[in-house]
Amino acid sequence: MGTSTVIEMDDTIVAIGSSTMPATRGVVRLTGTGVIDIAERLGIMPTSDGSAHCVDTAITLGQPLGDVPVRALIWPTSRSYTGQPSLELHTFGSLPVLHSIVARAIELGARAARPGEFTLRAFLAGRLDLTQAEAVLGVIEAEGRGALDHALRQLAGNLSRPMEFLRGQLLDLLADVEAGLDFVDEDIQFISDTDLVERLDAIRSTLATTRKQLSERTRDTSQWILALRGLPNAGKSRLLNALAGHEAAIVADQAGTTRDVVSVPVQLGDHQVVLVDTAGIESADGDSSLQQISHQAQLQARRAGRDADIRLWCVDSASSDWEPTCAAMRELAKDKRQAAIDLWVATKCDGPGARHLPDPWIRTSALAGTGIDSLQQRIIDSIESLDANEGVSILSTAARCGGSLRAAETAIGSAIDYVHGGDGHEYVSSELRLAAAALGEVTGAVYTDDILDRVFSRFCIGK
Ligand SMILES: Nc1nc2c(ncn2[C@@H]2O[C@H](COP(=O)(O)OP(=O)(O)OP(=O)(O)O)[C@@H](O)[C@H]2O)c(=O)[nH]1
Ligand SMILES: [Mg+2]
Helices 425-443, 117-133: inter-axial angle, 10-degree rounding: 50
Contact 90, 34 (CB under 8 A): no
160 is an annotated ligand-binding site residue: no
**pLDDT at 203 (0 to 100):** 94
- Domains 147-218+392-459 and 225-363 are alike in CATH topology: no
Burial of residue 414, with CB atoms counted within 10 A of its CB: 0-12 exposed, 13-18 middle, 19 or more buried? buried
* Choice between 96 and 396, residue whose per-residue pLDDT is larger: 96
pLDDT score for 399? 62
Ligand 2 mean position, distance from CA 295 (Å): 16
Do 379 and 240 meet the contact criterion of CB atoms below 8 Å apart?
Answer: no
Question: Per mean pLDDT, which range of 61-70, 223-232, 314-323 is the poorest?
Answer: 61-70
DSSP letters, 166-185, are HHHHHHHHHHHHHHHHHTGG
Ligand at minimal distance from the CA of 240 is: 1
Count of other CB atoms within 10 angstroms of residue 249? 21
367 lines ligand 1 (CB under 6 A): yes
Q: Which long-range contacts link 425-428 to residues 24+ away (Cβ below 8 Å)? A: 425/177, 425/180, 425/181, 425/184, 426/73, 426/88, 426/181, 427/52, 427/73, 428/177, 428/196
CB-CB neighbours of 84 under 10 Å:
26
pLDDT at residue 184 in the model: 66
Q: Which CATH architecture has domain 225-363?
A: 3-Layer(aba) Sandwich (3.40)
Composition of the chain by helix, strand, coil, percent to 5:
50, 15, 35
Which ranges in 53-159 belong to alpha helices (H)?
Answer: 95-107, 117-133, 137-143, 145-156
- Please tell me the distance from the alpha carbon of residue 258 to that of residue 395, in angstroms, as a whole number: 34
User: Higher-confidence residue: 83 or 361?
Assistant: 361
Report the distance separating Cα 36 and Cα 46, nearest Å.
7
Q: What percent of the chain has pLDDT over 70?
A: 74
Q: DSSP string covering 181-242, please?
A: HHTGGGT--SS-HHHHHHHHHHHHHHHHHHHHHHHHH-S-TTEEEEEEEESTTSSHHHHHHH
- The answer to whether the annotation marks 354 as part of a ligand binding site is no
User: What backbone torsions phi and psi does residue 372 show, to the nearest 5 degrees?
Assistant: -70, -40
Q: Which of 228, 238, 254 to mutate to test the pocket of ligand 1 (most atoms within 8 A of CB)?
A: 238
Band of the pLDDT at 115, cuts 50, 70, 90? low
- For residue 101, how far is its CA from the centre of ligand 1 (angstroms)? 85
Q: Is 234 in the pocket of ligand 1 (CB under 6 A)?
A: yes
Tell me how far the alpha carbon of residue 421 lies from the centroid of ligand 2, in angstroms.
58
Highest mean pLDDT among 12-26, 78-92, 329-343, 359-373: 359-373
Closest by CA position to 233, among listed 429, 427, 366: 366
Instruction: Please tell me the predicted confidence (pLDDT) of residue 217.
Output: 54
Q: How confident is the model at residue 196 (pLDDT cuts 50, 70, 90)?
A: very high
For 120, half-sphere exposure in the C-beta direction (CA atoms, 13 angstrom radius) is: 17
Q: CB under 8 Å to 246, separation ≥6 — which residues?
A: none
Question: What torsion, rounded to 10 degrees, do the Cα atoms 109, 115, 117, 123 define?
Answer: 170
Mean pLDDT of 5-23: 70
Mean pLDDT of 184-188: 69
Q: What is the pLDDT at residue 398?
A: 63
Q: Which ligand is nearest to the CA of 370?
A: 1
How much of the chain, in percent, has pLDDT values that exceed 90?
34
Higher-confidence residue of 239 and 160: namely: 239
What CA–CA distances, in Å, run from 343 to 54, 309, 317, 385?
62, 11, 15, 13
Strands (E), 348-422: 361-363
From its phi and psi, is residue 220 left (phi > 0), alpha (psi between -120 and 50) or beta? beta
Beta carbons of 426 and 73 less than 8 angstroms apart: yes
Domain boundaries, the chain: 3-114, 147-218+392-459, 225-363
How far is Cα 431 from Cα 251, in angstroms, rounded to an integer? 58
Q: How far apart are CA 414 and CA 386, in angstroms?
A: 40
- pLDDT at residue 345, as a whole number: 96
Residues forming beta bridges with residue 345, ordered by sequence position: 314, 362
Architecture of domain 3-114 in this structure: 2-Layer Sandwich (3.30)
Look at the domain 147-218+392-459 and name its fold: Four Helix Bundle (Hemerythrin (Met), subunit A) (1.20.120)
pLDDT tens digits, 251-301:
888 888 887 778 888 999 888 888 999 988 886 555 555 566 677 778 888
If one compares 315 and 390, the residue with the highest pLDDT of the two is 315
* Rounded CA Rg of the chain: 31
For residue 319, give Cα distances in angstroms to 284, 314, 316. Answer: 21, 11, 5
Q: 231 CA distance to ligand 1 centroid (A)?
A: 10
Choose which residue among 257, 312, 349, 363 to substitute to test ligand 1 binding: the one with the highest number of ligand atoms within 8 A of its C-beta.
257
Ligand 1 atom 10 nearest Cα: 235
Q: pLDDT at residue 315 above 70?
A: yes
Q: What is the DSSP letter of 370?
A: B
> Helices 392-420 & 145-156, crossing angle to 10 degrees?
80
Mean pLDDT of all residues belonging to the chain: 78
Judge whether residue 449 has pLDDT over 50. Answer: no
Residues less than 5 Å from ion ligand 2, measured at CB: 237, 257-258
pLDDT in tens, 328-374: 999 999 888 767 899 999 999 998 888 888 888 999 999 999 999 99
Query: Is 209 marked as a binding-site residue?
Result: no
Cβ of 232 below 6 Å from ligand 1: yes
Confidence (pLDDT) at 141:
30
- pLDDT above 70 (res 400): no
Better-scored residue on pLDDT, 314 or 125: 314
What string of DSSP letters covers 272-319?
A: EEEEEE-PPP--S---STTHHHHHHHHHHHHHHHHH-SEEEEEEETT-
Each residue of 118-177: pLDDT tens digit? 766 766 665 332 222 222 222 223 233 444 444 444 443 356 667 778 888 998 899 889
| Single-letter amino acid code for the residue at 41 | R
d(CA 244, CA 265): 8
